[in-house]
Amino acid sequence: MCSGGTLSILRSDSYVDLSQYRDQHFRGTRYDQERLLRKSCTLYVGNLSFYTTEEQIHELFGKSGDIKKIIMGLDKVKKTACGFCFVEYYARGDAENAMRYINGTRLDDRIIRTDWDAGFKEGRQYGRGRSGGQVRDEYRQDYDAGRGGYGKTVQCQLLFKWC
């Protein structure tokens, strides 16, 4: 009668819940995307340094379970690392533990962020910013040595200033 039940406060698993982000390029309905996200074994990892290697990512994310595949995010033009990647696990539970314990901790001295991904598809390894990198690096105003310095727009402005 009683030994099976639990309490909702103990069921809370906020680190594993879906975030607000939905991939605008996803082919399918919102519902399809959410269904995939809820059973996905793939994580998007953001705020990486451009210099962070696959080896480092493997070492860190390997702490929550066996990794099936890592796909480094690339600048669409330069084909060099542009600060994000996908990590796919064999088991959903291992991906959940990464969301609980690796998300929000540091890699290469940077707080990295993980989020559920509906699954890698060819083309998704490229940045979607106009200049080839990630969108966030197009418009940001700060100087980030690990992500190419100033944002692209700012870089253009500076260049223009000196011409």
Residues that bind another protein (CB under 8 A): 1-3, 5-10, 12-16, 53-56, 58-60, 63-64, 66, 70-72, 97, 100-102, 105-109
Nearer to another protein, 55 or 142 (CB): 55
Q: Look up residue 69 and give its two tokens.
A: 């595949």
Nearer to another protein, 37 or 98 (CB): 98
Q: Look up residue 24 and give its two tokens.
A: 């605008």
> Whose CA is closest to 131, among 147, 153, 149, 150?
153
Compute the least distance from the CB of residue 136 to another protein, in Å.
Answer: 23
Angle among Cα 80, 70, 28 to the nearest 5 degrees reads 95
Compute the least distance from the CB of residue 149 to another protein, in Å.
Answer: 20
Nearer to another protein, 51 or 139 (CB): 51
Nearer to another protein, 37 or 60 (CB): 60
Compute the least distance from the CB of residue 7 to another protein, in Å.
Answer: 6
What 8-state DSSP symbol labels residue 144? B
Q: Residues 91, 82: contact at Cβ < 8 Å?
A: no
Question: 33 in helix, strand or coil?
Answer: helix
Proportion of the chain in helix, strand, coil states, percent, rounded to 5: 35, 20, 45
Compute the least distance from the CB of residue 159 to another protein, in Å.
Answer: 31
